[in-house]
Amino acid sequence: MPEIDGIETMEHLKEQGVKGQFIMSSQVVNKEMVGEAYEKGVEFFIHKPINRVEVRSILTKTKENYRLQQSLQTIRESLANIGSVGEQPMRHSVSEIVRSILNDMGIVGEAGSDDIVAIMDLLMQQQNRPSQLPPLKDLYEAAARDMENVDITKESKAIEQRIRRTIAAAVNNLASMGVVDYTSPQFEYYAPRYFDFQDIRLRMKQIEDDLPTPSRLKINIKKFLQVLYIETGERYKR
């Protein structure tokens, strides 16, 4: 781009009223440029050379994020009307609540997000909901039983791995948010509640030092699902 760069192009488009989502790709990459791109509102930053699988995955996530944002906008508009004469507040589904939370952490497009939604939906269907989660193995098997033509044992293990990878993505996303803007509302709210903050801080340090994502992040699935279960229950009552 000979005259203006990608960030300036995005700013000009926004000034002209374009409300789409933006994905940037560049071969010249440094932390400052990536941080500025996210501050200006880019959804994802793709490092060149381009990987077809990565691009397809990011486009899928962007599409899912856009769909969810449209749904959230509808929810906000309905909430704005609460209090009007004769109007009853709309109760949101478990799926809407959970996907809203996952969207805030940037993981609603991950494969394990559907498994997380299914597990929360199963828990919310119980008449006498326990304060603590049942064993994770029981949750995975219960979610697998709702699928057709699957081996329960194999699928429950696959569910665990998908959820683990999804939560690992949340760790990376929140740590990246914290590096760019420590006062980000999503970072301030989700990082200390859903995770052991020292793990988030360690990942932030690795990002700041340009270290690659470790092959095995420390992931506490039980804590993540427990906090999500409590928050979903609180919102579902409203």
pLDDT (tens digit per residue) in 209-237: 887 767 667 889 999 999 999 999 988 87
Mean pLDDT of all residues in 12-30? 78
Which backbone phi and psi does 14 adopt, to 5 degrees? -65, -40
How many Å apart are CA 77 and CA 42, to the nearest integer? Answer: 25
Cβ–Cβ < 8 Å for 214, 196: no
43-52 contacts at long range (C-beta below 8 A, 24 or more positions apart) = 50/25
Longest dimension (CA), the chain: 64
Name which of 132, 203, 145 is nearest 171 in CA terms.
Answer: 203
CA–CA separation, 147 vs 192, rounded Å?
A: 34
pTM above 0.75, yes or no: no
The token pair that represents 120 in the structure block? 């929360």
Does 19 score more than 80 pLDDT? no
| Alpha-helix residue ranges (DSSP H) falling in 81-151 | 94-104, 111-124, 136-145
The yes-or-no verdict on residue 90 having pLDDT over 60 is: no
Cβ burial of 172 (10 Å; 0-12, 13-18, 19+) is: middle
Report in angstroms the alpha-carbon separations of 68 from 3, 76, 101, 121, 218. Answer: 35, 12, 11, 18, 29
Which amino acid appears at position 37 of this protein? A
- DSSP-derived 3-state class of residue 120: helix
pLDDT grade for 99, boundaries at 50, 70 and 90: very high
Output the pLDDT for position 77: 57
122: pLDDT strictly greater than 80? yes
Q: Where do the DSSP E strands lie in the chain?
A: 23-26, 44-47
pLDDT at site 67: 66
pLDDT at 8 over 70: yes
Tokens for 223, please give them.
């804590």
Residue 75 has pLDDT above 80, yes or no: no
